[in-house]
Amino acid sequence: MEEIIQWPLVLFSLLAGAGGCAFAFAGASEFVGGTKRARFAVGIVSLVLVVVGGLFSVLHLASPQHVMAAVRHVFSFSGVSVELMVLGLLVVVGVVYLVLSKRSGVDGARKGFAVAGIVLGLLLAFVTGHGYVISAKAAWFTEILPIAYLGTSLAAGALLFLLVSLAADKEFSAKPWGVPVVAASIVGAVTIVAYLAYLQSAGFDVASQALVTGLAVACGIVVAIGCSIAILRCAAGGNRQTLTVLAAVGFVGALAGGLAVRMLMWLFSEGFMELFEAARVVLNC
C-alpha cells in the first residue's frame, strides 16, 4: 500500500500541537514566572509552528482551491472543522496577545488573552488528535489517541518553551520550570505507554513496528524524562548552557516521541474493512 503514513498530517499535528502547548506555557508563564522577552519569543516561535503546521495540513489537500468550502462548512463541527476553528482562534488570540505584550497598561487584557491562549493551545493539541477518533479504524477509535497527541505535544511544548526562553532572554530563570517540565514529560510518557497498551490490547502487535515503537519509548519516554529530570536538578542556578542543551535534547526527544506515536497511528491504520483494497489483492474470479 502506498503512502501509509500521511506525513503532512503528521507534521501538522506535531508542529501545531507542540506550538500550541509551547504557547500555553508562555501564557502560563504570565502566572508562574518568566520574562516578557522570553514570553514574546516563545509566542512568535509557537505561532510560527502552528501556522507552519497548518500549512502542512494544506499540503495534504489534493484540491486546496476548494478550501473556501471548508470555511463555509465550519459549523458542522467535523473533526477538521473543529481543528480549523481552534487553530484560527489560537492564531488570533496569539497575535492579539503579542500585540498586547508590546503595550503597557493592558495587563488585565493581556493576562486574559494569556489564559485564552493556554486553553486554546492545549485544546489545539487535543483536537488535532481527536478528529481521528473514528469507528472505522480500530487503532484510532479511542480517546487515548488525542490524549496521547496532547501528552506528547505537552512534553514537546514544555521543553520548547524552556529552550526558546533560555535562548531568547538571559534574564530568564529556569528555576520555577523544573517541576512543570518534568510533569509534562511524565504526562507525555504516560500517554505514550497508554497508547501502546491500547494498541496491543486491540490486537495490534507493536513489536512488529519495532523501530517506531522503540523511537517512541527511547525518545518520548527515556530522553524526554531524562532530560527533564536533569533540568530539574540544575534548574536552580545551573549552568545556562547545560540547561539549554538539555532543553534542546529533551525537546528533540519529546518531539521524536510525538512523531513516533503519530507514525504508529498511521502504520496501524488498517480499516474495519478495506474492501476495495482486498478486491485488488484477491482478484475476483
User: Is residue 276 near another protein by the rule CB under 8 A?
Assistant: yes
User: Is residue 72 near another protein by the rule CB under 8 A?
Assistant: yes
Report in angstroms how near the CB of residue 95 gets to another protein at its nearest.
23
Report in angstroms how near the CB of residue 48 gets to another protein at its nearest.
23
Q: For the window 217-256, what string marks contact with another protein as x by the rule CB under 8 A?
A: ----------------------------------------
Q: Which stretch binds another protein (CB under 8 A): 114-122, 129-137, 158-166, 230-238?
A: 129-137
Of residues 92, 125, 148, 113, the one with CA closest to residue 260: 148
Distance (Å, whole) CA 98 – CA 208: 46
Number of C-alpha atoms within 13 angstroms, CB side, residue 255? 19
Report in angstroms how near the CB of residue 1 gets to another protein at its nearest.
11
**Binding residue for another protein, selected from 48, 61, 95, 109, defined by CB under 8 A:** 61
Report in angstroms how near the CB of residue 128 gets to another protein at its nearest.
13
User: Is residue 207 near another protein by the rule CB under 8 A?
Assistant: no
102 φ/ψ angles, rounded to the nearest 5 degrees: -85, -5
Q: CA angle 140-217-42, nearest 5°?
A: 85
User: Is residue 202 near another protein by the rule CB under 8 A?
Assistant: no
Of residues 249, 197, 242, the one with CA closest to residue 224: 249
Q: Which stretch binds another protein (CB under 8 A): 112-120, 197-205, 247-255, 266-274?
A: 266-274
Report in angstroms how near the CB of residue 56 gets to another protein at its nearest.
13
User: Is residue 4 near another protein by the rule CB under 8 A?
Assistant: no
User: Is residue 274 near another protein by the rule CB under 8 A?
Assistant: yes
124 touches 90 (CB < 8 A)? yes
User: Is residue 68 near another protein by the rule CB under 8 A?
Assistant: yes
Residues 6 or more apart from 96 whose CB is under 8 A from it? Answer: 113
**Binding residue for another protein, selected from 4, 48, 69, 236, defined by CB under 8 A:** 69
Residues that bind another protein (CB under 8 A): 60-64, 66-70, 72-76, 78-81, 84, 131-132, 134-138, 140-141, 269, 271-285
